[in-house]
């Protein structure tokens, strides 16, 4: 049983010591595609701009001689993409949500017209992943925060991917406990853990280093079966996580998770309720995003 208390923090002075640092290791998604006209001919020299709507972070690129573009190193989150070329109407597509490790293809078709005119596309549907060689599933922020976790251990959510089997909580040579998990029939210690683009494995035991608590993690993706080359350190698969980033406003959360016999039912074979009592307090500081 758990009780969650959320408190919005709006006093900027609490976060005055925070600094803004560009961390390309957190960029864990990319977008690519081809720009064509209505007849199907490719259009070189088109300026393609993608903007993260939560922060205003914008990146631009110009299509090459084959009309192709690729925008890499993009943080996860919601985006808007625009394409413009003199003599054609500006194209704009919203509702794009990039998840950790995603590589969607967004092709653009430009119509002849004035640059001041625009074609707006709303794309709320999930983007189909066609380029990844692995089989994976993203555990999104809603499940990270809302699903019950014993001790708030995020590793238990890896089992939701369907290709994973837990081996139980065990101690490590480095003294912290961890769950040794088998993914895709691989060894218990054959998972590559990544956090914000960096390796998160203990080189001594091959187990993962401690993961952030759920309120600090945005989402993670579990991949197996011919995963991309960047996950080649271990044979079974990869767990790629990304922590939360800021937006253009100071905000944060305070929380309390409670486990207490008062909330628990009595075991059918016991005469009294168990005596467990656990209070977990914490907070999250999400500062202004970098531009």
Instruction: Please give the chain's pLDDT, 291 residues, in tens.
Output: 344 433 333 333 333 334 444 444 445 788 999 999 999 999 999 999 999 988 888 999 999 999 999 999 898 889 999 999 999 999 999 989 998 888 889 999 999 987 677 787 876 555 566 666 777 888 888 888 888 887 788 888 888 887 788 766 666 566 676 778 888 888 878 888 989 888 898 888 788 888 888 888 889 998 887 777 777 777 888 899 998 876 676 777 788 888 888 887 888 888 888 878 888 888 877 554 343
Predicted TM-score of the model (pTM): 0.72
CATH domain 24-122 topology: Immunoglobulin-like (2.60.40)
pLDDT value of residue 150: 77
* pLDDT for res 127: 59
The predicted pLDDT at position 166 comes to: 75
pLDDT of residue 212: 86
pLDDT recorded at residue 3:
40
User: What DSSP line would sit under the chain, residue for residue?
Assistant: -----------GGGGTT------GGG--EEEEEEEEETTS-B-TT-EEEEEETTT--EEEEE--TTSEEEEEEEPSEEEEEEEE-TTBPEEEEEEEEE-TT---B--EEEPBS-TT-EEEEE--SPPPP-S-SSEEEEE-HHHHHHS--GGG-GGGGGGGGSSEEEEEEEE-TTS-EEEEEEETT--TT-EEEEETTEE-B-TTTSPBPPPPPGGGEEEEEEEESS--GGGTTSSSEEEEEEE---BSB-EEEEEEEEEETTTSPPPTT-SS----EEEEEEEEEE-PPP-
pLDDT at residue 84, as a whole number = 93
Check residue 81 and give its pLDDT. 95
For the domain with range 133-243, which CATH number is right: 2.170.130.10, 1.10.287.1080, 3.30.365.10, 2.160.10.10? Answer: 2.170.130.10
CB neighbours of 49 closer than 8 A, spacing ≥ 6? 58, 59, 60, 81, 82, 83, 84
CA 290 → CA 81, 132, 217, distances in Å? Answer: 19, 29, 18
| Domain residue ranges of the chain, discontinuous segments joined by + | 24-122, 133-243
Residue 20 has what pLDDT? 41
| CA gap 248, 251 in Å, rounded | 9
């Amino acid at each position: 049983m758990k009780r969650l208390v959320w408190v919005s923090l709006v006093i900027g002075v609490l976060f005055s010591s925070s600094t803004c640092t560009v961390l390309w290791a957190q960029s864990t998604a990319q977008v690519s595609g081809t720009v064509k006209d209505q007849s199907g001919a490719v259009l070189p020299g088109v300026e393609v701009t993608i903007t993260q709507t939560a922060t205003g972070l914008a990146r631009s690129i110009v299509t090459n001689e084959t009309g192709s573009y690729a925008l890499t190193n993009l943080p996860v989150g919601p985006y808007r993409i625009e394409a413009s070329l003199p003599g054609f109407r500006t194209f704009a597509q919203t509702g794009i949500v990039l998840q950790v490790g995603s590589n969607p293809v967004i092709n653009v078709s430009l119509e002849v017209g004035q640059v001041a005119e625009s074609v707006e596309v709303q794309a709320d549907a999930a983007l189909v992943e066609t380029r990844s060689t692995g089989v994976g599933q993203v555990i999104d922020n809603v499940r990270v925060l809302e699903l019950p976790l014993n001790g708030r251990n995020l590793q238990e959510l890896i089992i939701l991917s369907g290709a994973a089997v837990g081996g139980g909580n065990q101690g490590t040579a480095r003294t912290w406990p961890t769950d040794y998990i088998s993914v895709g029939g691989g060894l218990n210690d054959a998972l590559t853990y990544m956090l914000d683009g960096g390796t998160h494995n203990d080189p001594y035991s091959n187990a993962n280093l401690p993961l952030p608590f759920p309120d600090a993690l945005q989402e993670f993706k579990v991949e197996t079966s011919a995963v991309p080359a960047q996950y080649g350190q271990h044979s079974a698969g990869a767990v790629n996580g990304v922590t939360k980033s800021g937006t253009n406003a100071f905000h944060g959360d305070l929380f309390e998770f409670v486990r207490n016999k008062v909330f628990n039912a009595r075991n059918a074979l016991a005469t009294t309720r168990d005596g467990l009592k656990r209070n977990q307090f914490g907070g999250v500081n999400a500062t202004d995003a970098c531009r």
